[in-house]
Amino acid sequence: MSSTLSPAPLLIPLQPEWLDRVVAVEAAAYTHPWTPGNFRDALASGYQAQMLVQGDRLLGYYVAMQVLDEVHLLNIAVAPDAQGQGCARLLLETLDHWSRLQSAKWLWLEVRASNTRARAIYERHGYRQVGERKRYYPVHHGERETAIIMSMPLYGPEP
């Protein structure tokens, strides 16, 4: 009897040839997903974008932008069939490490007020709510939802 081991997950730069898979995960994860053009623009702008892959399977990704001594997490998603397996934690840890290498002092993000699962993940990771943007995210039929602004300091060495 032989068993086939799955390859270990790898973090690699987000690459244009993976955009179809990225967009598919994005559409499965969000009610108002980024478009292929949003991802192409992020790559063209030189934003930090990493994918977590296992063989030819996309587990998740993030896109972040550095502004002076701050890094803003613009987008992060984990494929629905890979959720609950630590992928988000690994992506966030990778972002932390990269941000420290860039001498960033703070990480920032915005999350829908209704996305309690993501908010809990961010809080466990060390982010704290520092504000709100009322009526920021589109919901449907002209309605809008509050964005929760979260931040995490990156002072000192990695934990």
User: Is 25 part of any known ligand binding site?
Assistant: no
CA 146/CA 113 separation, integer angstroms: 6
Q: Name the active-site residue from 122, 127, 137, 145.
A: 122
For the chain, the maximum distance between any two Cα atoms, rounded to a whole number of angstroms, is 59
User: Is 115 part of any known ligand binding site?
Assistant: yes
**Taking a C-beta distance cutoff of 8 angstroms, is the pair 154, 107 a contact?**
yes
User: Is 149 part of any known ligand binding site?
Assistant: no
Tokens of 139: 């919901």
- H helical segments located in the chain: 19-29, 36-44, 87-101, 116-125
**Taking a C-beta distance cutoff of 8 angstroms, is the pair 129, 122 a contact?**
no
User: Is 63 part of any known ligand binding site?
Assistant: no
Q: Name the active-site residue from 30, 70, 93, 110.
A: 110
Q: Verify whether residue 122 is a known catalytic residue.
A: yes
DSSP code, position 6: P
- Binding-site residues for acetyl-CoA, in ranges, read 76-78, 115
Any idea which residues carry the catalytic annotation? 110, 122
- Binding-site residues, in ranges, read 76-78, 115
